[in-house]
Amino acid sequence: MKKHIPNIITSLNLLSGCIAILFVVSGDLVVASFLVLFGMFLDFFDGLAARLLNVQSDVGLQLDSLADMVSFGVVPGLMMFQLLNKATMPHVLETGFEASETIYGFEAGMNLLPFIGMLIILASAYRLAKFNVDTRQTTSFIGLPTPANTLLIISLPLIFQFQYTELIGSIIFNQWFLIILTLVSSYLLNAEIPLFALKFKTWDFASNKIRYLFLGISLIAIIVLKFIAIPIIILFYVLLSLFWKEQ
């Protein structure tokens, strides 16, 4: 029975992502974001459970990638589609992310701009495919991990919903900001940039300085800035990886 526990946890991550898609399609990006956060929690513990129970398997590895593709590939891509779609709508700052009847208003004429957001889906799929065959990524990452990129995208509706100001609203629903963010995140997913992983082989400080530093500063940032801290943390993660060389 224990050999199935990690796969059950992974399947729950997949289920969470599927339900998140339904909420994204309805326009409720806030609930979708919380479902993705729950999926990230599960994604962390499925691998941990497999290691603790010593039941790693090739099937588990493939199932994990499939679940990640849905929760951390399709969901953020559709979410960016919706953000761009809403950015073209009048009075969007008044309606926010309440559920609507349709994901896309074809009756008003086809606007191709929101489809740019789906580049995230393609970039995520390619990133996950590379990860499965790249032997360099056993203890670290090459390119931004899909959960980190997803965290960046889902922070936007959470910031809007819980820390709204006129400035924040004007930035989040600025078409050029969303397009640039889409292009940058799609690039980072597959860039040849070495990034450290939050995997602790031991708990001593000497060999995990970068991880403890990152976690400590991230925790303080979240306490002080709340959801606004998320994009700052992602940027800090990339910069810290670039300028801190582990011994």
pTM of the model: 0.90
Residue 70 included in any domain: yes
Residue 178 included in any domain: yes
**Rounded to an integer, what distance in angstroms lies between the CA atom of residue 19 and that of residue 194?**
33
pLDDT tens per residue, range 181-231: 999 999 999 999 999 988 766 677 777 889 999 999 999 999 999 999 999
Q: Is it the case that residue 54 has pLDDT exceeding 80?
A: no
Residue 50 included in any domain: yes
The pLDDT value recorded for residue 108 is 46
| Phi, psi (rounded to 5 degrees) for 174 | -90, 120
Q: How far is CA 135 from CA 53, 138, 141, 208, in A?
A: 24, 6, 10, 22
Burial environment of residue 124 by CB neighbours within 10 A (0 to 12, 13 to 18, 19 or more): buried
Q: Render 105-162 in DSSP notation, one character per residue.
A: -GGG----GGGGGGHHHHHHHHHHHHHHH-GGGSSEEES--HHHHHHHHHHHHHHHHH
pLDDT tens per residue, range 95-136: 566 655 445 544 445 588 999 999 999 999 999 999 988 888
* Residue 190, token pair as written in the block: 């597959």
Report the number of distinct structural domains present in the chain: 1
Q: CB–CB of 63/7 below 8 Å?
A: yes
Q: Tell me the helix, strand and coil percentages in the chain, rounded to 5.
A: 75, 0, 20
The pLDDT value recorded for residue 162 is 96
Task: Report which DSSP code applies to 205.
Answer: S
Residue 32 included in any domain: yes
Q: Is it the case that residue 13 has pLDDT exceeding 80?
A: yes
The one-letter amino acid at 98: E
CATH number of the domain at 38, please.
1.20.120.1760
List the end-to-end C-alpha distance of the chain, in Å, as a whole number: 40
* Residue 61, token pair as written in the block: 């590895």
The pLDDT value recorded for residue 24 is 96
Buried b (16+ CB within 10 A) or exposed e, 133-170: eeeebeeebbbbbbbbbbbbbbbbbbbbeeeeeeeebe
Task: Report which DSSP code applies to 4.
Answer: G
Range of the domain at 25: 2-138+145-193
Most confident of 89-93, 108-112, 177-181: 177-181
Residue 229 included in any domain: no
The pLDDT value recorded for residue 161 is 94
Residue 222 included in any domain: no
Biggest CA–CA distance in the chain, Å, is 61
Q: Is it the case that residue 247 has pLDDT exceeding 60?
A: no
Residue 168 included in any domain: yes
Q: Is it the case that residue 64 has pLDDT exceeding 70?
A: yes
* Residue 87, token pair as written in the block: 């950015």
Residue 97 included in any domain: yes
**Rounded to an integer, what distance in angstroms lies between the CA atom of residue 233 and that of residue 155?**
11
pLDDT tens per residue, range 129-175: 999 888 888 778 999 999 999 999 999 999 999 999 999 999 999 99
